[in-house]
Amino acid sequence: MKAYQPARGTRDLYGDEILAQKFVTDGMHHVAHCYGYGEIITPIFEFTEVFARGMGEVTDVVSKEMYTFNDRGGESITLRPEGTAGAARALVSNGLAQDLPLKVYYIGPMFRYERPQKGRYRQFYQAGVELFGVDTPNADVEVIALANSFLKKVGVKGKITLEINSLGDVESREEYKKALLEYFKGYEENLSEDSKRRLHTNPLRILDSKEECDKVICENAPKMNDYLNEFSKNFFDEVLKGLDALEIEYKVNSKLVRGLDYYRHTVFEFITDELGSQGTVLAGGRYDDLVSELGGPKITGVGFASGVDRLALLLKETPNKQRPVAVIPLNDEYKYQALKIADDLRAEGVFVDMAFNGNVGKRFKKANKANAFKAIVVGGDEFDRGNVVIKDLDSGNQKEVSIKEISKEI
């Protein structure tokens, strides 16, 4: 029979890898809790329209990367490609706008039909937060601070830098787009093929093109910053001041833009130099119209999403595994007594490893392989006296201990 492989871009998580993923998600649970964010679990699939409306019809994610299918009832269903739209929809569906601000975080799989690479999968995991209903810059600051704490907590190796920019409000953005379009049209001939296309789809994108010919042209392109209106400018300044106050280092990158249509004002990315072109490890920003697009009231939001798989790849070392206590019957005669002792310890919350077979020597070997730090030997004269032998597997020392005292001795 043919051995099956997982479908392209998917993989099985187990062993050390899942420990790394769990370390990342545990960090998220912990940090989000400290900032007062509650967990939200939204469905893994939604009506296609939720994502199409929320993210913008022309974005690449919507137009060519979604896992979309018709269910048996004929509804167009899409596996969620990101978390924000679903969270916004949940807010609307459940009337959560009654009690603002709403602070939520989520952790779970997302799906995009893309060519897989290192740190990029078709089923991948994101951990993100959303803060709804605060339209002042301190919301942006809090979310970025949370992101910063989260990355610190996870303790990833390599250099991670925060880049930040403002896209301004709708008015500023439109002004800027116009100026940019005009500028690039003068150089259309010299733009890369990709950028010629972007000129019509998303001119802002040209700014962070990796093509040399585009970079040269972008040197003298109009700067977003010069097109921010008074309000947008003040907003951005306030955000930066907040970051200064928190001593969070950042780099203003006027060429930083985002792929999804809903972003306004603040956009930011935490980038590592260790993952090649998949260097973005956490990214987010402010969005103003997403909730109303989905049929809710006009509520603003700020949030970010982080790539759990990418962060797991960056961990300095695999998190320490807890070491078990091994319970070893001296011979078959004592197997039930040993089992009872193991079970009692487990009931007390002790991590107990017990081999399923083998003589004493074999069981010690297995205990060693399981990286046990103590072995409890059950049987013989000692057992008749109501005792067991506890051996420290690191030092090799062992002593006789009353069965009742076992949990005190380990």
Partner RNA sequence: GCGGGUGUAGCUCAGUUGGUUAGAGCGCCAGUUUGUGGUUCUGGAUGCCGUGAGUUCGAAUCUCAUCACUCGCCCCA
Smallest distance from the beta carbon of 119 to RNA, in angstroms? 6
Q: Is the peptide bond preceding residue 101 cis, with omega within 30 degrees of 0? A: yes
CB closer to RNA out of 82 and 293: 82
Closest to RNA by CB, 152 or 365: 365
- From CA 331, how far away is CA 295, in angstroms rounded? 70
Nearest-approach distance from CB 309 to RNA, in angstroms: 5
d(CA 307, CA 116): 14
Could you please report the per-residue DSSP string of 131-188? EES--SHHHHHHHHHHHHHHHHHHTB-S-EEEEEEE---HHHHHHHHHHHHHHHHTTG
CB closer to RNA, 229 vs 278: 278
CB of 392 to RNA, least distance (A): 7
CB of 170 to RNA, least distance (A): 18
Edge-to-edge strands of the sheet including 374-378?
A: 352-353, 325-329, 374-378, 387-392, 398-402
Question: Between 97 and 360, whose beta carbon lies closer to RNA?
Answer: 360
Q: For RNA, which is the closer residue by CB, 260 or 325?
A: 260
Residue 408: Cβ within 10 Å count: 8
Minimum separation from the CB atom of position 391 to RNA (A): 5
Task: Find all residues with CB under 8 Å of 185, minimum gap 6, and list them.
Answer: 199
C-alpha distance from residue 383 to each of 135, 393, 400, 403, 404 (Å):
70, 20, 10, 8, 12
Question: What is the token pair recorded at 381?
Answer: 């004269």
Q: Give the residue with the Cβ less far from RNA, 15 or 297.
A: 15
Q: In the complex with RNA, which residue's Cβ is closer, 67 or 97?
A: 67
Closest approach of RNA to the CB of residue 363, in Å: 8
Which CB atom, from 162 or from 260, has the smaller least distance to RNA? 260
Nearer to RNA, 100 or 410 (CB): 410
Q: Find out whether 90 and 54 touch, Cβ atoms under 8 Å.
A: no
Q: How far is the CB of 3 from RNA (least distance, A)?
A: 8
144/228 Cα distance (integer angstroms): 21
Pick the closer one to RNA by CB: 22 or 233. Answer: 22
| Chain positions contacting RNA, by CB under 7 A | 5-6, 8-9, 59-61, 65, 82, 112, 114-121, 124, 126, 194, 198, 202, 205, 209-211, 258-260, 269, 276-283, 305-307, 309-310, 330-331, 358-362, 364-365, 367-369, 375, 377, 379-382, 389, 391, 393-396, 398
Structure tokens at 102: 């709403």
Q: To the nearest whole angstrom, how small is the minimum distance from the Cβ of residue 395 to RNA?
A: 7
Give phi and psi for 12, each to the nearest 5. -95, 135
222-242 as b/e: b if 16+ CB within 10 A: bebbebbeeebbebbebbbeb
User: To the nearest whole angstrom, how small is the minimum distance from the Cβ of residue 73 to RNA?
Assistant: 28
Least separation in angstroms between residue 124's CB and RNA is 4
Sign of the four-CA dihedral 214, 215, 216, 220:
positive
CB of 180 to RNA, least distance (A): 14
How many C-beta atoms lie closer than 10 Å to residue 175's C-beta?
17
- In this complex, which beta carbon is closest to RNA, that of residue 241 or of residue 321? 321
Residue 184: exposed, middle, or buried by beta-carbon count in 10 A (0-12, 13-18, 19+)?
buried
Buried b (16+ CB within 10 A) or exposed e, 67-81: bbeeeeeeeeebbbb
